[in-house]
Structure 1
Amino acid sequence: MNATDTIPLVRASLGERELAAVAEVFTSGWPAGQGPQGTGLEAELTRRYAAGGAVAVSNCGAALHLAMLALGVAPGDEVIVADYTFPAPAHAVRYVGATPVTADVRADTGTVDPQAVADLIGPRTVGVIAVDTLGLPADYAQLKAVTDRHGLFLVEDAACAVGATYQGREAGALAPVACLSFHGRKGATSGEGGALIATDPAVARDARMRSSFGIGSIFDQAQIVGLPVPEFTEIGYNFKLSDIAAAILRVQLGRTGELLQRRRAVAARYGELLAGEELLSVPHVPADRTHAWQSYPVTLDAGVDRAKVATDLRAAGIGCGHGAWATHLQPVFATKHTCPVSADLFRRTLAIPMHAELSMDQVERVVRVLRTALRAHAS
């Protein structure tokens, strides 16, 4: 099979404009983190999300970790986390010695169920991390009502959702603290990268300081006449985003509309071609929100052998994946508490190719191979 015959599951949309931005960083002499490009990126993110502050970091996992620290989560605390997702929220809670408590999700959207969250609140609960599942925002009006009623914090894991909206507001601005990802499969990417967006400037300041070993920006200090010697007053981490990556992201964020429009066209064509297919269901998008289409997850009928379908797709040069994880079923987060909807989605969801570089001919080929595989492996 020729490389030109393959259809990858994901592909980043990076080109000449991004290369030119990197060349400018090379000329500037400051490729490291928290320099002019990083500062510029943070200013753009603050404006975009009408936030009190934004912090560019190495990845979304780092942003979630910093959020837990800035919000004062400590050993003995419990944080309710969406179960059906890449389990970064549960990891972040564990990083600070607290306990993640997984909440089940809605069967139609895969986003965390506000009633499941409400039912899990106990005396040790301090907050909730909601997830915009595979690019679809959660039910923030209901979640905010729950967290406000109980005096809990609410964090939005918008890792997959740059460009999505909920009730007219952009993902990343749907909770007092939000965490973004700029991984290679996202709607805006620098290969790796992330950001913390905060309504409260103090939360952003805390996260920025901790992201640089607790001493702040070396670049800023280098601009001071004399020889300032930073003092380490608290434990921090090396979570900085390089200025190379920040420069790429400044271009990418300016292209999110264009790239999302292409993804939406792909999603619409999948929806047309798979309408009425009895052996799977396509994603459901409620009327009050829009999808970022980081992924295109189809949920297979219970009688379809997903592994065999995936084998056939890959044999035809078509990338695919399992969707997201049921966090509570992962050995490191094993618990007696169950999330049956999440577990069911984990077993039956299949991600098919979704990115801004897909042609409609490729979309149609994916569907043809998928339909054949479904019928071959349905009981």
Structure 2
Amino acid sequence: MTVEYALGQPTVGQEELDAISEVFASGWLSGAGPACLAFEKEFAAVAGVDNVLTTSNCGAALHLAQLVLGTQPGDEVIVGDYTFPATGHSILWAGAKPVFVDVRPDIWSIDPQAVEAAITPRTVGIVAVDPFGQPADYDELRAIADRHGLWLIEDAACSSGATYKGRQAGSLADIATFSFHGRKGITAGEGGALTSPRADLVAHARKLHTYGIAPAISREGSSTLPIPSFDEAGFNYRLSDVQAAIMRVQVRRLPQLMAARTRAANTYAEALGDLDLIELPTALPDRTHPWQSYVIGVDPSLDRGKVALGLRARGVGCNFGTYASHKQPVYGFEGTLPVSASLFERHVAIPMHANLTEDDAVQIAGIVREVVTSADVRR
């Protein structure tokens, strides 16, 4: 089987290679160096905050967020269920219990009413996920958090460049976390960032992300021989300067990359909007959707697995959307969250990246139409 249309594809080229060469020439390839500090300043403009920390991945950023916000064993953290399990895992890593709640059926983010109903005396915080990049309902979530004395995290893994009511993703909660994985809107293959309006939280996270001491670059140029002292156990969660150099180019590309993805999303919507057998994603007018993925819901009368195989057989890369986390055995969740469970069973991600041309999107939409209207994919 030949994949003609890849599910995801990075947009990289000579500029990224030149940036890597500059890092090689500098002699500083390891983590938390000059390129990381430079990228942090540049990404701050995207996130709408002054305080940014680069990390090895978004999972590391989520874990650091839990720790610096004070999550303890025995605590409960409410989290939107429709998400890759790194979100729930980060709560387990802090020794706490993730309490999954259902999501909105239209934009798939955490349902504020479900959050309110799940609060107990052990609840310490809320993690809202921005599904495939579109921000959750942060005004409502902030009001709930403030009313109950809880902290709020934005899992913005897919949200570089997104906005909510004119405010940038990364500035919508006490802490936000981003991913620079290969399928994200901007990428170094791997990597992440933690952002916050609060300098104290990011300073603490910076210490923890380097085993519990200040990064080595803070001692560069010292006239003495400073020897750090470890008073807190931390981790090796640093981004390398090679990756940061790539990200510096990628963040400059971000407006063009988002515009290309938006054109592809609009083409899909126009080409498939009349098809009753699939449900297209909703983009709310008060938010900027960065279209990290384009996910469609197949009608219950169709076999989602057969749809995926049909697409792949015709050269269209695809996958399921993301996880109904409560259904994963690691969490031991009892009961069901019907909206998230339904999305998990019906969603199919089709190609979305900035290299798609309008003709590509038209051709892919035609193949989707051919597959879902075929008798071969009926249950």
User: What amino acid does structure 2 have at the position aligned with 1:353?
Assistant: P
Counterpart-to-counterpart distance in 2, 1:148 and 1:337: 29
Alignment-derived partner of residue 160 in structure 1? 158
Alignment-derived partner of residue 75 in structure 2? 77
Q: Which runs of 5+ in 1 are unaligned?
A: none
- Structure 1 residue 88: Cα displacement: 1.4
- Structure 1 residue 369: Cα displacement: 1.7
For the residue of structure 2 that corresponds to 1:255, the secondary structure is helix
User: What amino acid does structure 2 have at the position aligned with 1:378?
Assistant: R
Counterpart-to-counterpart distance in 2, 1:170 and 1:188: 16
Alignment-derived partner of residue 131 in structure 1? 129
Alignment-derived partner of residue 8 in structure 1? 6
- 5 Å-filtered alignment, 1:292-371, equals 292-371=290-369
Alignment-derived partner of residue 287 in structure 1? 285
- Structure 1 residue 172: Cα displacement: 1.4
Say if 1:52 and 1:258 are closer, same or farther in 2 by CA, change over 3 A.
closer
Counterpart-to-counterpart distance in 2, 1:69 and 1:232: 17
Q: Which runs of 5+ in 2 are unaligned?
A: none
Counterpart-to-counterpart distance in 2, 1:266 and 1:47: 26
CA RMSD of aligned residues (A): 1.2
Structure 1 residues 272-312: Cα deviation after superposition (integer angstroms, max 9, x where no partner): 00011010010111221121100000011011111001111
**8 Å CA contact 1:295, 1:353 repeated in 2:** yes
For the residue of structure 2 that corresponds to 1:175, the secondary structure is coil
- Structure 1 residue 220: Cα displacement: 2.3
- Structure 1 residue 353: Cα displacement: 0.3
**8 Å CA contact 1:322, 1:349 repeated in 2:** yes
For the residue of structure 2 that corresponds to 1:248, the secondary structure is helix
Counterpart-to-counterpart distance in 2, 1:78 and 1:364: 46
Normalised TM-score (structure 2): 0.97
- 5 Å-filtered alignment, 1:47-196, equals 47-196=45-194
**8 Å CA contact 2:68, 2:205 repeated in 1:** yes
For the residue of structure 2 that corresponds to 1:187, the secondary structure is coil
User: What amino acid does structure 1 have at the position aligned with 2:110?
Assistant: V
- Structure 1 residue 64: Cα displacement: 0.3
Counterpart-to-counterpart distance in 1, 2:53 and 2:284: 31
User: When the two structures are aligned, how many residues end up with a matched partner?
Assistant: 377
**8 Å CA contact 1:187, 1:260 repeated in 2:** yes
Normalised TM-score (structure 1): 0.97
Alignment-derived partner of residue 378 in structure 1? 378
- Structure 1 residue 52: Cα displacement: 4.2
**8 Å CA contact 1:52, 1:204 repeated in 2:** no
Alignment-derived partner of residue 215 in structure 1? 213
Counterpart-to-counterpart distance in 1, 2:122 and 2:300: 38
User: What amino acid does structure 1 have at the position aligned with 2:313?
Assistant: A
Counterpart-to-counterpart distance in 1, 2:45 and 2:205: 18
- Structure 1 residue 169: Cα displacement: 1.1
For the residue of structure 1 that corresponds to 2:319, the secondary structure is coil
- Structure 1 residue 180: Cα displacement: 0.7
Structure 1 residues 214-247: Cα deviation after superposition (integer angstroms, max 9, x where no partner): 1111122242123221111110000000011111
User: What amino acid does structure 2 have at the position aligned with 1:193?
Assistant: G
For the residue of structure 2 that corresponds to 1:162, the secondary structure is coil
Identical aligned residues as a percent: 48
> Which deviates further from its counterpart, 360-369 or 23-32?
360-369
User: What amino acid does structure 2 have at the position aligned with 1:358?
Assistant: L
**8 Å CA contact 1:77, 1:99 repeated in 2:** yes
Counterpart-to-counterpart distance in 1, 2:301 and 2:310: 17
Structure 1 residues 140-187: Cα deviation after superposition (integer angstroms, max 9, x where no partner): 111111111101000000001111111011211111210011111111
Structure 1 residues 123-150: Cα deviation after superposition (integer angstroms, max 9, x where no partner): 0000000000011110111111111110
User: What amino acid does structure 1 have at the position aligned with 2:262?
Assistant: R
User: What amino acid does structure 2 have at the position aligned with 1:91?
Assistant: H
For the residue of structure 1 that corresponds to 2:326, the secondary structure is helix
User: What amino acid does structure 2 have at the position aligned with 1:310?
Assistant: A
